[in-house]
Amino acid sequence: MTSPRILAFAGSLRRESFNWKLIRIAAAAARAAGAEVRLLDPADLDLPLFSEDREHSGGMPPAAQRFKRALVEAQGFLIASPEYNASLSAALKNAIDWASRTEAPGEPPLLAFQGRPAALFSASPGALGGLRGLVHLTLVLQNLRVFVLPEQRALGRAHEAFDADGTLRDKAVEAHVGRLAGQLVDSVRRLSN
C-alpha cells in the first residue's frame, strides 16, 4: 500500500508565524502516522491578487499553477489558518480562489479540492486561538467539496505556547495535534480504498 500524500501549509506569509510552527508539528505527526507529507513554503502562497481580467489576459500565474498542482497531487490537506479580523487570511483565501479555477477545457470543476479530506488548525495570541477564522475556512472548503474533519484545533495564547525551537510547551496540546493529523491520514486511507 502506498503512503497517503498529504499537503501541509499555513495561511500566513510570515515564515515564523505561529501557524507555520503549528503546521510543522502536524506535518511531523502525519509523517509518523505513515504519510508522505509535502510542507509548502510561505512564499508558495504569495500570489498576485485573483482577477478575472488578469486570468483572461495571461492565464493563471505560474505561482498559482504550482500551488494548484501541489493541491491536485495531494490526497488530503493539513491547513493552519491565522485569524484576521474574525476570518481567514487574505493570502489563504486568494490562494484558494486561484486554485479553484479551471485551466483547460474539459478539466473537471474543483479538481484541486473535490473529495479530499482536510484537518484544520489555528494559532493566535487571542484566547479563542483563531476559532472564528476556522468557521469561515470550513465554509469555504466545504463549498469546494472538501471533507473537513469535524474536530479542529484552535491554539490560544500562541505567543506563550512554543519554545524557541518551535516545539509546543504543552505536551497534551502536541498529542492532540498529533491525533488530528493521524485522523487525516486514516481518512485518506479509507477514501483511497
Q: What does the pLDDT look like over 21-54, one tens digit per residue?
A: 999 999 999 999 999 999 999 999 999 999 999 9
* Residue in the structure block whose three cell numbers are 490562494: 95
Residue range 76-84: mean pLDDT, rounded: 96
Mean residue pLDDT of the chain comes to 96
Residue range 86-108: mean pLDDT, rounded: 95
> What is the pLDDT, as a whole number, of residue 1?
66
Domain ranges of the chain: 5-192
Burial class (CB in 10 A: 0-12, 13-18, 19+), 172: exposed
DSSP letter (8 states) at residue 45? G
pLDDT band, very low/low/confident/very high, at 107 (cuts 50, 70, 90)? very high
Residue range 163-178: mean pLDDT, rounded: 96
In terms of pLDDT, which residue wins out, 186 or 16?
A: 186
Tens digits of residue pLDDT in 116-153: 999 999 999 999 999 999 999 999 999 999 999 999 99
* φ/ψ of residue 131, rounded to 5: -60, -40
Predicted TM-score (pTM) of the model is 0.96
On whether the 5-192 domain is CATH 3.40.50.360, my answer is yes
Question: Where are any strands of DSSP class E within the chain?
Answer: 5-10, 36-39, 76-80, 83-84, 87-88, 117-123, 147-148, 153-155
